[in-house]
Amino acid sequence: MLSLQDIQNAAGRLRGAVLETPCVESRTLSQITGAQVYLKFENLQFTASFKERGALNKLAQLSPEERARGVVAMSAGNHAQGVAYHAQRLGVRAVIVMPRFTPGVKVERTRGFGAEVVLHGDSLAEARQHAYALAEQQGLCFVHPYDDEQIAAGQGTLALEMLAEQPDLDLLVVAIGGGGLIAGVATAAKGLNPDIEIIGVQTQRFPSMFNAVRQAELPMGTSTIAEGIAVTQPGAITQEVVARLVDDMLLVDEGDIEQAVLMLLEIEKTLVEGAGAAGLAALLRHPQRFAGKKVGMILSGGNIDPLLLAAIIGRGMVRSGRLARIKVSARDVPGVLARITATVAAAGANIEEVHHQRAFTMLAAQSVEIELVLQTRNKAHIDEVIAALQAEGMQVNAV
């Protein structure tokens, strides 16, 4: 059974090879949420994820014979890079099996750490089976992403650091995928302070641990922006720890996670992936659960696809009223566009896009429909722009 001593021993193995990331208060997030929020910046690790803690702890305990044969791991993301990086440091051969759909940037980054990347299967399950087959065929040591006590012990070292810096935390909020992180964190934190609360967070689209521990039957989704915790089957080892030590589990939706990613980028100036923002998403979704408490939150990773980040930023700007789309109907005469743009400018908005529509409209043939995408300050500012255009005799609709 995983113990506090296992995690303290792991901390000794990791010292000097893994960054002891800062755990500091966010005054702004504390004001917004009503809790005293402390952030653990695991996205500052060399591979931008806590996963390298568990990977190194596992690799450091290989026997000379196992090191000589090498290791194999299955992952489409952070675990792959953690294993590849530290295997390269230790001079251990690493084979990483990734599904064929893995984004090219992740494949090349993993190769860049010296690993042999094998693309196989159309799902994580198929990649996992191929990794097991390679381990059997080539005598490689399989490095599981979460259902391994040595992996969980490595992940738990970050809780030792958090409580060394902030010993009076009331509770820790931890994202749950397969459960390796929360198993290690809960074991370490409860070992040091039995009264501390451990709150797990899962996305509503992948409530696998929630279902397993609560005997629930919530439906599973097919995708989520929190891909790092998109696990359909939790670990057996980790499930036992969660059932024994975790005080509560909360579910968050995609909108909560999007909002949390954007808030961390704007407020803390730090880039966090969807899974890494799940803790803040829980605070935003369930503020009454954390009000007045001293909360430790783990920003578990910062590996996010740039196109996904761009979409999150754009959608967030729309929700907050900083990006708006309106349709203006006016008589199709020379100078009408100049009048519209001058009115928008006088109202203090910036035009990002303009589209004329003459044919595909129900307006009279002498009229034109002009669609504008505007950069605005907030929702009240959008109303001001619309009122200014209406005052000029134009028909305006927000889209």
Could you read off the pLDDT of 25-41 as tens digits, one per residue?
999 999 999 999 999 99
Say yes or no to pLDDT of 123 above 90. no
Q: What is the 3-state secondary structure (H, E, C) of the chain?
A: CCCHHHHHHHHHHHECCECCCCEEECHHHHHHHCCEEEEEEHHHCCCCECHHHHHHHHHHCCCHHHHHHCEEEECCCHHHHHHHHHHHHHCCCEEEEECCCCCHHHHHHHHHCCCEEEECCCCHHHHHHHHHHHHHHHCCEECCCCCCHHHHHHHHHHHHHHHHHCCCCCEEEEECCCCHHHHHHHHHHHHHCCCCEEEEEEECCCCHHHHHHHCCCCCCCCCCCCHHHCCCCCCHHHHHHHHHHCCEEEEECHHHHHHHHHHHHHHCCCCCCCHHHHHHHHHHHCHHHHCCCEEEEEECECCCCHHHHHHHHHHHHHHCCCEEEEEEEEECCCCHHHHHHHHHHHCCCEEEEEEEECCCCCCCCCEEEEEEEEECCCHHHHHHHHHHHHHCCCEEEEC
Over range 93-112, report the average pLDDT.
Answer: 87
Residue 44 is predicted with a pLDDT of 98
Could you read off the pLDDT of 365-389 as tens digits, one per residue?
677 888 999 999 999 999 999 999 9
Residue 100 is predicted with a pLDDT of 86
Over range 47-59, report the average pLDDT.
Answer: 97
Say yes or no to pLDDT of 169 above 90. yes
The catalytic site residues sit at: 51, 300
Over range 76-88, report the average pLDDT.
Answer: 93
pTM of structure = 0.91
Residue 321 is predicted with a pLDDT of 95
**Of 103-112, 161-170, 309-318, which gets the smallest average pLDDT?**
103-112
Domains of the chain: 2-48+146-312 (3.40.50.1100), 70-138 (3.40.50.1100), 320-396 (3.30.70.260)
Could you read off the pLDDT of 295-345 as tens digits, one per residue?
999 999 999 989 999 999 999 999 999 999 999 988 878 898 999 999 999
